[in-house]
C-alpha cells in the first residue's frame, strides 16, 4: 500500500466508525418511544438469564480458540487460555478486528506461546467464527427474507464457500498463503480434522448460547415460541458474523443492530426490535468487561511477568 493511501485509510477508518455509531444513536433517538417500550417490557429475570447465556457463550468461544492453539502444538490450561482470550476480547471495541489479536499475541508470550502461533490461531478462529455464523444463520434466512430478500440469497450462496474454507487442508492452505504474503514462516504442521472440528463444534455451542440470550430478551416483546427463537438464533449469528467482517465499526456497532432488527421485524415494530438489540449489546459489554476484569485480576502475576522465550516450532 502506498504511503499516501495508507495515511488516508488511517484517517478514514475512525471517521467511518464515528459515522456508523452516530447513525445508530440517531436511529435510537428518532424511535425512542418504541425503544423505551421494549426496554421496559424486559423482565429482570429475562435480563439475568440472558447475561448467564452470554457468559456461557463467551466461555465456549474461548474453548474454540484454545482448541485451535492446541492443534498448532501449543496446548494451554483452560484457565490460562481464558486469561489470554477474554482479556484480548476487549480489543474488539476498537475500530478494526486486529486489536484483539494483538493483545492475545502479547499475553500468550507470557505462557511461552510464540506470537506467530497465537496470530495464526486467532486468524483461524475468526475465519471459523464467520463460517459457523453463516451456517447457523441459514436458520434465520426465512425470517430475514420476509423483511428484505435483497441479500438473503447472497448469504445462502456464501454458506458452501465458507464451509469449504473451513476444511482443515483448505484452511491450512489459506493461512499459509497469507503468511507467505506477510513474509512469515508457514504453519509448523497442517491443521487436523480433530482440532478444526472441535473448534467448530464449540462455536456452534457459542451461537446457541447467544441466540438464547437474545431470545430471552425478545420473548417479552413478541418473539415468542419456536419461530421467535429461530429468528433470534439465526439473526444473531449473522449479525455477529457481519460485525467481524465490517471492521471499521467497533465490535460491529450499527451493523449488528441492523441485522437483528431485520430478523425481528416480522414479530415486532422496528423501534422495539432496535430496543432489544441495544439491550443485547449492553449485556455483552457488561459481560465482556466483567470476564476480562476477572481474568486480568486472576492473571496479575502473568501480566507482570516478562515474556518467556517461546519454544521453537517443531516441523
pLDDT (tens digit, 0 to 9) for every residue of the chain, 315 residues total? 455 544 544 544 555 555 555 654 555 565 556 566 667 788 889 999 999 999 999 999 999 999 999 999 999 999 899 988 988 887 776 655 567 788 888 888 888 899 899 999 999 999 999 999 988 988 767 666 655 555 566 677 788 888 898 999 999 999 999 889 988 888 888 999 999 999 999 999 999 999 999 999 998 887 778 888 988 998 899 888 877 766 555 555 667 888 888 888 878 888 888 888 888 988 888 888 888 888 877 766 555 555 555 545 544
* Structural domain boundaries in the chain: 42-303
Cα separation, 173 vs 190, whole angstroms: 8
CB burial of 141-175 (b: ≥16 within 10 Å; e: otherwise) equals bebbbebeeeebeebeeebeebeeebebeebbbeb
Nine-digit cell at 20? 456508523
pLDDT of residue 121: 93
pLDDT of residue 146: 57
pLDDT of residue 63: 97
pLDDT of residue 21: 53
Cα separation, 66 vs 82, whole angstroms: 8
Residue in this structure with the C-alpha cell 501449543, named with its chain if needed: 74
Are the CB atoms for 13 and 96 separated by under 8 Å?
A: yes
CB burial of 59-92 (b: ≥16 within 10 Å; e: otherwise) equals bbbbbbbbbbbbbbebebeeebbbbbbbbbbbbb
pLDDT of residue 301: 57
Amino acid at each position: 500500500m502506498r504511503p499516501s493511501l495508507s495515511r488516508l485509510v488511517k484517517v478514514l477508518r475512525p471517521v467511518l466508525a464515528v459515522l456508523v455509531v452516530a447513525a445508530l444513536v440517531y436511529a435510537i433517538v428518532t424511535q425512542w418511544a418504541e425503544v423505551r417500550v421494549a426496554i421496559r417490557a424486559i423482565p429482570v429475570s429475562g435480563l439475568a438469564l440472558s447475561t448467564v447465556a452470554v457468559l456461557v457463550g463467551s466461555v465456549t468461544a474461548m474453548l474454540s480458540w484454545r482448541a485451535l492453539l492446541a492443534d498448532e502444538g501449543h496446548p494451554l490450561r483452560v484457565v490460562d487460555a481464558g486469561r489470554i482470550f477474554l482479556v484480548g476480547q476487549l480489543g474488539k471495541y476498537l475500530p478494526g478486528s486486529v486489536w484483539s489479536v494483538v493483545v492475545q499475541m502479547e499475553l500468550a508470550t507470557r505462557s511461552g506461546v510464540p506470537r506467530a502461533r497465537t496470530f495464526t490461531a486467532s486468524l483461524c478462529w475468526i475465519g471459523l467464527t464467520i463460517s459457523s455464523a453463516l451456517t447457523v444463520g441459514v436458520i434465520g434466512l426465512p425470517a430475514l427474507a420476509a423483511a428484505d430478500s435483497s441479500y438473503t440469497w447472497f448469504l445462502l450462496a456464501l454458506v458452501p464457500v465458507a464451509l469449504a474454507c473451513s476444511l482443515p487442508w483448505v484452511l491450512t492452505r489459506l493461512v499459509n498463503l497469507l503468511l507467505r504474503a506477510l513474509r512469515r514462516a508457514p504453519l509448523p504442521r497442517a491443521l487436523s480434522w480433530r482440532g478444526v472440528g472441535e473448534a467448530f463444534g464449540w462455536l456452534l455451542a457459542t451461537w446457541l448460547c447467544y441466540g438464547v440470550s437474545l431470545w430471552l430478551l425478545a420473548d417479552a416483546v413478541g418473539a415468542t415460541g419456536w419461530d421467535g427463537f429461530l429468528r433470534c438464533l439465526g439473526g444473531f449469528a449473522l449479525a455477529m458474523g457481519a460485525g467481524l467482517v465490517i471492521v471499521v465499526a467497533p465490535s460491529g456497532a450499527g451493523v449488528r443492530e441492523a441485522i437483528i432488527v431485520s430478523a425481528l421485524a416480522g414479530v415486532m415494530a422496528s423501534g422495539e426490535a432496535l430496543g432489544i438489540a441495544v439491550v443485547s449489546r449492553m449485556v455483552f459489554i457488561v459481560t465482556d468487561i466483567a470476564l476480562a476484569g476477572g481474568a486480568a485480576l486472576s492473571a496479575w502475576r502473568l501480566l507482570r511477568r516478562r515474556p518467556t522465550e517461546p519454544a521453537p516450532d517443531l516441523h
